[in-house]
Structure 1
Amino acid sequence: MSRVRLLLLGGLLSGSCVSVAQGVTQPADPARPPAVVVDTLARKFSLVGPLDSATRPNQLVHERYPGPRRLRGTIGKQPVTIELDSANSSYTGAFYYDRSGRWLEVRLDARPGARTLHLCETPAGDLTGRLRLPAKAPAQLKGTWENADGRHQYPFVLRETYAGAARYEQDLWEMVRYTVRRDTSYIPLDSAFFHQLYVRVSLPNNPVAEQRLRRALAAPFAPELMPLYLDTLLARRQLQHNGYQFHGVGDVVYNGHNLFSVLRVSSFQQGPDYHPHEWYDGTTFDLRTGQRLRLADLLVAGYQKRLLALFRRGLKRALAAAPGYGPLGGAAPPLPVGGFVLAPAGLVFTYDDRDAATLGEPGAGHADRFLEVVLPYEELVPLVRRTGPLAPVLQERGLLPKK
């Protein structure tokens, strides 16, 4: 299961496999703005005349969440990366071995006194490993990894680092806009809902790249104009449909080797039938320049035919692992319209209902409205440009000769 799917299902916010690590707690940020609910602000910025004679109360929420802390190091001789998100005085996140790219769940509880980080290395959340931390946590964390039954142990070293990576935050904008009945201001007559997490990148040593990334990934308007934008957007949707809901997430799926990959997941539904759509759009950036990378920037000239063959092979693997989806893409399936992302496991494409209409109404055996196709880096070696942005990833994994 991919990290973005874990996020969508709440896997990064809750779980039964709990772990504890006093050494990686994060102090509260006094500058972090609290959640704000502003009814009068939304009314003030409304551009649309009353849809009813009663006042239209709106609810607006804006909050900024800190991005994950990035820890890198080794377990035994294996290089690892850990990314930890904070939530309600605890941490959740992801962990992968750099040379294999296999995602593992990480659960941490910030309760004082306990000093063990538990690893859940299976989709079912089974506990398969622990990192025993020292009593005092210096900048460089050292301790012992052991498997679930304690029979195998290896030393580990971890350090927080953003070399070749970016710090980032997630900016939440949420608005509920509704009309009310003429005889009361408390019973909603019609409503529209918007919820979006935007990515806000910080590169203090590279302001040019930072500004490019912010323009590409941040909210479409400055904070003082967002209430106006959202109120107008939802009012227009209400005029078109009796009810509208939008949920959006910008999930960072790769952050390293000067590569920054974001998967935007948009889910919306509107009347009269309220059949939801779930769309996946990937973008990858070069952190040195802030420019968006295309497949042609990463792969050798003339890659198209060979990449399509690899994709179709990967699609067959994905369908074999999830037969409930049935055939997708026809006899000669094209690449998905949503583009690609990089992930620790490889190059990732995602089919949604823009590519296959059957994904709009999933049936038995495939409750998800998407199908993820992963092309492992090992398969991509013949197609990767040896001097391109993706080459360092392959070199670290021992797939290319070291310089």
Structure 2
Amino acid sequence: MRLLICSFVLLLSFAALCLAQAPAQTFRGTIGEQSVVVKLQRDGNKLTGSYSYERIGQSITLKGQIDAQGNVTLAEFDNAGRQTGKFKGKLEPDEERTDAFILDGTWTRPDGSHETSFDLHEQQLAFTNGLQFTSKTIADRRLNIKAIYPQLAGGDAPGVIAFNRAAESLVTKLVNDYKKDFVPTDHGGGFETDYNVLLANDDLVSVELNEEYWGGAHPEASHDAVTYDLRNGRALVLASLFKPGAKYADVLRRAARADMLARLKRLDTKNNENKQDYESFFSDDELKEWGAWGLTPRGLVLYFDLPHVIAVFDKASIPWAELKDMLDPKGPAAQFAQTNGAR
């Protein structure tokens, strides 16, 4: 347990350092209910950058600072140099991933009024060829549908076109399925999707889609992912990451369970709880199959369909180092495994 606590503290301290070392960090998320993209650059404890509402696109200047604990304060300014708002939040490791951070807190006007929350997730962008992500939305106010999905802009190569079609097709199907199955209830109803970029370089893109349905006693969440080989214009299959004939399924299940248990123990430590019998959690049946998977620079992400009471753990991150003996040295994951020491 002490090791778990120390590891998390090290990650927390590392958050501010990562922002300092990166050329620029890009975050996506929301201010209130509005989708935004935020770009930040650090110089010492100073932060500069900009953000824009995806629906509008106009850039708003940001200036502020970050301390060693990841506490962030930012002021925003319009084109005339007038302050129009301020952010106060914290940069912390994303508990669901090993290579990304979350920046969340509150936004207000300069006088402290109109307080609203913001929630931003780091996007792993490493394009050098002019590609960039834009967002499209399928909306239906009558049915409370707001389905945001990614599209690549800045290129027309076959791989870019194929990715865009795949992402649009997947979200369109999810929306149509929801409409077909929609039954009004006393709890109302609705469906939303949004996305995070797990990996994006000139060769590969991997994007997770986060879906939320509500209308029953409890909201339901699920995940999908779109992972594409841009060079060859095709979707990646999981088996292509591993050596031919490798028995990787059981290894992935064990690694996923270990990741979930570690996160559960950290959460219990934070809440001063101790469940004693941790081995009873995340049974073989619950982890028998994963519904989707994605790639990050540091590892593989698996998405499971877990019962509501433990659904918060339905993502599992597996570092490349834990899979090094089975990875195909000529496969699409080899470049990341080598970079992260999984030789």
TM-score range, shorter chain: 0.5 to 0.7
AA aligned to 1:175 is D
Which structure has the highest helix share of the two?
2
Give yes or no for the alignment of 1:312 onto 2:257. yes
Q: In 2, distance between residues paired with 1:347 and 1:291? A: 19
Contact 2:166/2:226 (8 A) holds in 1: no
Which runs of 5 or more residues in structure 2 are unaligned? 1-11, 16-24, 64-69, 82-87, 94-101, 105-124
CA deviations 1:326-353 (Å, max 9, x no partner) are 65432565255332112244212234xx
1:382 equivalent to 2:332? Answer: no
For 2:29, the equivalent position in structure 1 comes to 7
Verify the 8 A CA contact 2:203 2:229 in the aligned structure 1: yes
Q: Alignment identity in percent?
A: 19
Q: Quick one: which of 127, 145, 154 aligns to 1:194?
A: 145
Alignment of 1:194-343 (within 5 A): 194-202=145-153, 204=155, 206=157, 208-218=158-168, 237=182, 240-241=184-185, 243-256=188-201, 258-270=203-215, 273-300=216-243, 301-302=245-246, 303-323=248-268, 327-331=280-284, 333-334=286-287, 337-343=290-296
Tell me the SS of whatever aligns to 1:198: strand
Which SS does the other structure have where 2:228 is aligned?
strand
Letter aligned with residue 339 of structure 1: A
How many Å apart are 1:172 and its aligned residue?
2.4
- Of structures 1 and 2, the one scoring higher in RCO (CA 8 A, sep 6+) is 1
SS in structure 2 of the partner of residue 218 of structure 1: helix
Deviates more, 1:338-347 or 1:315-324: 315-324
Letter paired with 2:253: L
Q: 1:8 to 1:308 in 2, by over 3 A?
A: farther
C-alpha contact 1:198 1:249 (8 A) present in aligned 2: yes
1:175 matched to 2:140? The reply is: yes
Q: Secondary structure at the residue paired with 2:330?
A: coil
Q: Match of 1:47?
A: none
Q: Which of structure 1's runs of 4+ aligned residues deviate more than 4 A?
A: 8-15, 17-20, 63-66, 104-110, 118-121, 123-126, 219-222, 229-236, 324-327
Determine the structure 1 residue equivalent to 2:60: 89
Q: 1:292: Cα distance to partner?
A: 1.5
Give me the TM-score of the superposition, normalised by structure 1: 0.51
Inter-partner Cα distance in structure 1 for 2:163 and 2:91: 33
Correspondence for 1:122: 92
Paired residue for 2:301? 348
Q: Note the alpha carbon deviations across 1:332-382, whole angstroms, 9 max, x for none.
A: 65255332112244212234xx3224236xxxxxxxx34432111222222
TM-score normalised by L of structure 2: 0.59
Report the 3-state secondary structure (helix = DSSP H, G, I; strand = E; otherwise coil) of the residue aligned with 1:163.
coil
Question: Structure 2: how far apart are the matches of 1:161 and 1:280?
Answer: 23
User: Larger C-alpha radius of gyration, 1 or 2?
Assistant: 1
How many residue pairs match? The answer is: 262
Q: Is the 8 A contact 2:196 2:207 kept in 1?
A: yes
Q: Which runs of 5+ in 1 are unaligned?
A: 29-34, 36-62, 67-86, 93-103, 127-159, 178-191, 361-368
